[in-house]
Amino acid sequence: MRLELGVLCGMWMGCGAGAAPVDPCVGRLAGDLVITEVMADPDGSDTGAEWIEIFNPLTTPIALEGFTLYTRDTDGSNLKSHLVKAGTVSEHGSFVFGDVRSGPNPAWVNYSYGDGLGALGNARGVVGLRCGAIVLDEVSWTSPVKPARSRLFSGAVLPSAQTNDDERFWCDAPVTDAYFGPNAGTPGERNPACLPEVAFGSCLSSGVARPSVQPRAGELVITEVMNNPSISETTGEWLEVLARADVDLNGVTIANGTGASDTLQSSDCLRVRAGETALLARSADPALNGGLPPPKALY
């Protein structure tokens, strides 16, 4: 019996002194993880809908338990931090931290830090990730983010802890990259290249800016409306329009009887040819919009 107990103690490390805890920061270097996207001003209430994306440029996965995520103002004030309790970033993969306060995480959030960081700054701010005293990466923004659009690092530039220090390589997510309702961004996905914002009244056609063609009265006709879907109205409503001339939908405003309205926005020209119909939806995600085909624009 004594021999059996000794074997069990050896197998489970449960008798006497246990193994020393593994330091998660051993071997970690600045740049092992890179911050690539921040949603600081989501549509509606910010609480529960903000998130931070990181990227692993290495060829091996990185376990995040024991790392510290932090945020502060650009002047160093209002420092808040959260000790990460779980999660692994795959090699050459992305990982999204979110401030989910209750219920399950949405599909685009891998880990919730709850209320640990408070609200991210909309006008300016700093977000960083460290392990012990090693700052893996830190980024800042000094110009206001645009509502319902994440601030992202250009997908045309190789992400590193050096290149993402240059704000010229950052931009606000294109409105066409909506992931939930009017919120635009690419959480957990490859970032698009940052392109110059076109001037008001213009749009990009095959990458070339031109004046957008606004429909005149009668040139855009509503032909079908889904105003009471069996799924959530927030993501399941849609309408169909018929063009009677070659027009662009950029700048077209959709309004209802309650006074609420949404304006279709995109850097690219939302071109509809005469005789064509266009689907306008609340969400581009088939899992959320009831299985719709790809919409022409979101509102």
pLDDT tens figures, 21-31: 788 899 999 99
- Residue 227 and residue 171 share a domain: no
- Residue 268 and residue 224 share a domain: yes
Q: What is the maximum span of the chain, computed from C-alpha positions, in angstroms? A: 93
Chain centre to alpha carbon of residue 186: 4
- Residue 291 and residue 156 share a domain: no
- Residue 267 and residue 128 share a domain: no
Highest mean pLDDT among 79-93, 169-183, 207-221: 79-93
Which pLDDT value is given to residue 5? Answer: 39
| Residue 56 domain-assigned (yes or no) | yes
| Residue 189 domain-assigned (yes or no) | no
* Tens-digit pLDDT profile for residues 153-201: 999 999 999 999 999 999 999 888 999 999 999 999 999 999 776 667 8
- Residue 259 and residue 180 share a domain: no
- Per-residue DSSP letter, 6: H
Confidence category of residue 202, pLDDT binned at 50, 70, 90: confident
Is the distance from CB of 269 to CB of 249 less than 8 angstroms?
no
In the chain, % of residues over pLDDT 90: 77
- Residue 149 and residue 84 share a domain: yes
Q: Which of 184, 199, 231 is the last residue of a domain?
A: 184
- Residue 251 and residue 131 share a domain: no
Residue 45, token pair as written in the block: 């209430």
Which residues fall within 8 angstroms of residue 73, CB to CB, at 6 or more apart? 121, 124, 125, 126
- Residue 226 and residue 96 share a domain: no
Radius of gyration of the chain (CA): 24
Confidence category of residue 138, pLDDT binned at 50, 70, 90: very high
Range of the structural domain that residue 125 is part of: 34-184
Highest mean pLDDT among 10-19, 80-89, 173-182, 222-231: 80-89
| Residue 17 domain-assigned (yes or no) | no
Q: Is the pTM of this model over 0.75?
A: no
Which pLDDT value is given to residue 176? Answer: 85
DSSP letter string, 171-240: EEPPTT-EEETTEE--TTSPPPPP-PPPPTTEEEETTEEEE--PPPTTSEEEEEEE-S-SS-HHHH-EEE
CA separation for the pair 214, 247 (Å, rounded): 6
| Residue 215 domain-assigned (yes or no) | no
- Residue 236 and residue 129 share a domain: no
Dihedral sign from CA coordinates of 149, 155, 160, 164: negative
Q: Please give the tally of structural domains in the chain.
A: 2
- Residue 169 and residue 101 share a domain: yes
Q: Which of 137, 158, 184 is the last residue of a domain?
A: 184
Is the distance from CB of 152 to CB of 186 less than 8 angstroms?
yes
| Residue 200 domain-assigned (yes or no) | no
Q: Is the pLDDT of residue 9 over 90?
A: no
Which pLDDT value is given to residue 188? Answer: 97
3-state secondary structure of 8: helix
